[in-house]
């Protein structure tokens, strides 16, 4: 029997609605905090395959999610392209890219040389995960990586990064192109090392208007997807806060589109022309509601999921908050697993 996550991602009917949670390995879990303390920090964990594999497995053991996501960060492969990176707690780059000359500093990524520990983590997980729980490999989307590379750290609106697109258009194109090339090779290497689905996180794409998305980011995403298509693994794209871009997402060679919690799944399906399986989109703050309200909200996402034309993978609409009670996650996963796949009445 095909793993429920893979069946759903391919548009087939799974035995139950698959569920996993963005940031499912993280600080809300006591066992994660313990591993992190003994490792000495987040980056040390990502660079030590046994520890990265261990924290990837922790939420699977505790909750029985239908997919595991590689424990790493969207910024990690940039170290293999010559960028110095630290975390505090988000990514910090002390020498950000600010000019066309800086863009040329970015080396091409050779995954075996640059991030061998990520590939080793994938190999361990491919051995240790149950057959019906596939490993999702991932990368950051070119524009989202550009945001951190130019700004040097997270901000609310990435004004310098957006200004770079306007003041240094050729250099911005060159940067997006180099990132697309690097991430295509990086994702391919993860699949060859055992990842059975690949996801592109575009956390900040919602800052772009539709014409800029169409001109700059869409071609970069499509380049990555086209490179990966022949591998035959499901491809997921998450344009966070991207409802206004959905009509431009139509036609991309992805299988699954992630939807944040602001947009109802039915509305996203309509705007996306029913072309994709949708993943999402419970508001992570609902995990702080009383259990009865959590279950009502989960049922409402499940109902919406049953109405989708190609299918549904249950997830939150963005990453889980570190203050979340793990027992609420257990209740949520149990509810999704108990739900009928198709409406019976």
In the complex, the smallest distance separating the C-beta of residue 90 from ligand CP3, rounded to whole angstroms, is: 4
Q: Mask: binding to ligand CP3, 284-323, rule CB under 6 A, as x and -? A: -----------------------------------x--x-
113-152: contacts with ligand CP3 (CB under 6 A): 138
148 is catalytic: yes
Residue 326, interface with ligand CP3 (CB under 6 A)? no
Instruction: Pick from 30, 40, 82, 90 the residue near ligand CP3 by CB under 6 A.
Output: 90
Instruction: Pick from 71, 186, 237, 276 the residue near ligand CP3 by CB under 6 A.
Output: 71
Residue 25, interface with ligand CP3 (CB under 6 A)? yes
Among candidate residues 28, 32, 47, 73, the one labeled active-site is: 73
Residue 38 burial (CB count, 10 A):
10
Determine the Cα–Cα distance for residues 56 and 31; give it in Å rounded to an integer.
11
Instruction: Pick from 17, 58, 203, 263 the residue near ligand CP3 by CB under 6 A.
Output: 203
Residue 328, interface with ligand CP3 (CB under 6 A)? no
Strands (E), the chain: 68-69, 86-87, 91-92, 135-140, 197-202, 235-239, 256-258, 277-282, 312-316
In the complex, the smallest distance separating the C-beta of residue 210 from ligand CP3, rounded to whole angstroms, is: 21
Residue 192 burial (CB count, 10 A):
14
Residue 22, interface with ligand CP3 (CB under 6 A)? yes
What 3-state class would DSSP assign to 160?
helix
Residue 315, φ and ψ in degrees, nearest 5: -160, 175
In the complex, the smallest distance separating the C-beta of residue 177 from ligand CP3, rounded to whole angstroms, is: 21
Please report where in the chains the tokens 């261990």 appear, as a residue.
54
Q: Which two tokens stand for residue 293?
A: 């309200």
Count the site residues for ligand CP3 by CB under 6 A: 23
Determine the Cα–Cα distance for residues 47 and 45; give it in Å rounded to an integer.
5
Would you list the DSSP string of 179-237? HHHHHHHHHHHHHHTT-SEEEEEETTGGGS-HHHIIIIIHHHHHHHHHHHGGG-S-EEE
Instruction: Pick from 2, 10, 15, 23 the residue near ligand CP3 by CB under 6 A.
Output: 23
Residue with Cβ nearer ligand CP3 (138 or 143): 138
105 is catalytic: no
Determine the Cα–Cα distance for residues 65 and 81; give it in Å rounded to an integer.
33
Q: Can you give the binding site for ligand CP3, defined by CB under 6 A?
A: 22-27, 36, 42, 69, 71, 73-74, 87, 89-91, 138, 154, 201, 203, 240, 319, 322
Catalytic residue IDs: 23, 27, 36, 73, 148
């Amino acid at each position: 029997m095909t793993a429920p996550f893979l069946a759903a991602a391919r548009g087939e009917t799974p035995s139950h609605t698959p569920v996993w949670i963005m940031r499912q390995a993280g600080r809300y879990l006591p066992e994660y905090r313990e591993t992190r303390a003994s490792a000495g920090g987040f980056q040390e964990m990502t660079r030590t395959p046994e520890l990265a594999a261990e924290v990837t497995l922790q939420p699977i053991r505790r909750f029985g999610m239908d997919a595991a996501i590689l424990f790493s960060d969207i910024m990690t492969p940039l170290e293999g392209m010559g960028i110095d990176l630290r975390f505090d707690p988000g990514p910090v780059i002390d020498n950000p890219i600010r000019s066309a000359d800086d863009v040329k500093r970015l080396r091409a990524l050779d995954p075996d040389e640059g991030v061998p520990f990520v590939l080793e983590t994938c190999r361990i997980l491919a051995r240790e995960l149950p057959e019906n729980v596939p490993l999702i490999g991932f990368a950051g989307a070119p524009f989202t990586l550009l945001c951190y590379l130019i700004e040097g750290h997270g901000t609310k609106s990435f004004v310098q990064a957006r200004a770079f697109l306007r003041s240094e258009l050729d250099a911005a194109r060159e940067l997006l192109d180099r990132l697309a090339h690097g991430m295509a090779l990086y994702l391919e290497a993860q699949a060859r090392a055992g990842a059975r689905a690949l996801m592109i996180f575009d956390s900040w794409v919602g800052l772009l208007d539709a014409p800029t998305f169409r001109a700059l980011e869409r071609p970069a995403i499509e380049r990555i997807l086209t490179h990966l298509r022949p591998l035959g693994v499901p491809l997921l794209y998450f344009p966070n806060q991207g409802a206004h871009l959905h009509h431009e997402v139509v036609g991309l060679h992805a299988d699954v589109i992630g939807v944040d919690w602001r947009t109802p799944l039915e509305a996203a399906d309509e705007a996306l022309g029913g072309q994709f399986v949708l993943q999402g989109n419970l508001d992570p703050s609902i995990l702080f509601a009383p259990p009865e309200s959590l279950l009502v909200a989960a049922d409402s996402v499940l109902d919406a999921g049953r109405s989708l034309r190609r299918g549904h993978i249950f997830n939150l609409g963005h990453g889980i908050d570190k203050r979340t009670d793990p027992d609420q996650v257990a209740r949520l996963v149990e509810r999704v697993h108990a739900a009928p796949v198709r409406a019976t009445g």
